[in-house]
A and B are shown apart, each in its own frame.
Chain A
């Protein structure tokens, strides 16, 4: 049972307790949290003597201040962290130490020497306290952020200014202007009290700038905790300032709670920062929310600023100094909004121009790329043609060897007769001479078609009789077809079809590719049907096999370059893409039809007929 409980606790820790908050740091964080909660309980319950409360509260701040300042030293001195990050934390630590010193002096004065707290608004503690703000600001601004430049930087400052002015309006009207009343209790001390809210504003601005400037991974790690710490600190500061202005501040009240919580969060932030690793973590939900919130902040600030103006107006205040500040703030706010609009306008114009430039460049690149592609395809076609010639070469050698052999044999026979008998019989000549001329013509016809096939790449479009083109092509293919004895080629190309405008060589290439494919589709032999017929507007040429057939998926991809259904090493995957390209160049169409695997395939090419 205990074991199960322990396992449960361990499991919970693994699942919910963050890895960076374990060991001594985790223990300290836990204790500090309990300490803050203890103070909260004490504030809500303690009803004791005012002096005791003040002493207890001022003393209680010291250890937690010290822990926070000490913790901040850890990332400041950690050599594993980037130098800029260490620098930032050095300043944060210094700020926290200054705060600790201020609290220590305040405690010594108020509770050690017994100076009444009402007179402590101007004391030795103030320089230490006031050092806290610039130090922390420098620290926060030193945190690594993504670099911003140009218009983005200007917008950043305008947004910051907007936030700052709006906050200023409230702080001015409620804290600073009343504090500066010469009739109040000790105006210098009140002015100093007012300096704290100003420090807070500056701090807030620094922090906002972090959010606006897209903090980088290192900064993001501890950002949320720093934000919580600073907000708590500011909350306590403002409450303190308001109470001092009203002359009712006493230590040990709710106002002090924010400083406690702030120290706790500074500690946690330092703990988190120590465990930052260089690898960039994905944006967590709250970070994403913060990024989304950032653009809305200036708008909220504007609403807030004008809200203050409206509120002051409706309250009917006649306080001239306070009103003046609010009016000035509202005017400044208006100027900032207008400035922001102007920057946006200019930037939009620039972006538009850039966009136009980009699209023009893109267009040019598309054109260039298309040209390159076209050229590559031309080269591919030429290469495939050469490959066909290479494959055909063996067949051509065979086909030419036979007539040559006939000619040599016949002429040698005649020569022999002549040598032996001094003459050749007319009957012998009548047998041999036709053989010789027939063979010579046969060889020359083969060479002719091969030569015309391997001629240049430029398509030479001319009205052609398809039957003639088919015949010439078949001469080239004859030996190849003969080799596979089980293959039969049934040709039905009428001589009286309308003439089509085409390049003989390219159509020959198409036919060779299609017949080669048909042959490869029927390893066990079968019949290839080559048919042509007149259709509306042109002539349809069909190559049908009884072979393996094609699935629908195969049919869909068939004309894609480098797609092949043949075994590895057998097909280049180029044949049909070239067929498609050639036919398209002829303004024709090519279709494939197959009832599925095992049912053979039919390729139909339609070429436009000669006009008129």
Chain B
């Protein structure tokens, strides 16, 4: 089964995500910031990473850039709580599968993740 990574500084959301997607049969990893998120990408074969854009200690965009440089094939979904058009444009240029805005809920997110994984990387 595919391996998912959630990088988000919101602990409660990490908990819900972990539980739900484990239940759905994914292998799930979470990280509270970009530094540890990148570490996880390096350590394990992550199929899809969900990145929050705004975090302390290396934000989502910076993490995305680093992921692209070390594991260019990893699929990435941006999950952002704010509308920052410049950051989104840059993320799109770096090649992300989707950009989602919070609040999105778990059902829509699960559907997007399923579709993204179904496509060729």
Contact = CB atoms under 8 A, between A and B. Distances in A.
Nearest to B17: A409
B39 interface: no
B19 A431 contact: yes
A408 B8 CA distance: 16
Interface stretch (A110-118, A225-233, A279-287, A394-402): A394-402
Contact residues on A (Cβ < 8 Å of other chain), bracket? 20 to 34
A438 interface: yes
Contact of B81 (A405, A409, A438): A405
Contacts of B54: 398, 479, 482-483
B12 interface: yes
A394 B56 CA distance: 17
Nearest to A407: B103
Nearest to A395: B82
B26 interface: no
Nearest to B62: A485
B19 to A, nearest CB: 7
A404 B82 CA distance: 13
Contacts of B106: 408-410, 412-413, 416
Contacts of B103: 401, 404-405, 407-409
A438 to B, nearest CB: 7
Contacts, number: 80
A413 B16 contact: yes
A412 to B, nearest CB: 5
B88 interface: no
A435 interface: yes
B68 interface: no
Given A397-B81, A401-B101, A408-B106, A439 B56 contact: no
Interface in A471-522: 479, 482-483, 485
B82 to A, nearest CB: 4
B12 A412 contact: no
Contacts of A483: 54, 59
Interface in B97-116: 101-107, 109
Nearest to B34: A485
Contacts of B107: 412, 416
Contacts of B102: 401-402, 404-405
B15 interface: yes
A74 interface: no
Contacts of B105: 405, 408-409, 412
Interface in A373-398: 394-395, 397-398
A593 interface: no
A435 B16 contact: yes
Contact of B19 (A407, A413, A438): A413
- A398, A401, A405, A439 interface centre (most CB from chain B within 10 Å): A405
Nearest to A439: B12
B36 interface: no
- A398, A399, A428 interface centre (most CB from chain B within 10 Å): A398
A405 B19 contact: no
- A394, A404, A408, A428 interface centre (most CB from chain B within 10 Å): A408
A485 B57 CA distance: 5
B56 A402 contact: no
Interface of A: 394-395, 397-399, 401-410, 412-413, 416, 428, 431-432, 435, 438-439, 479, 482-483, 485
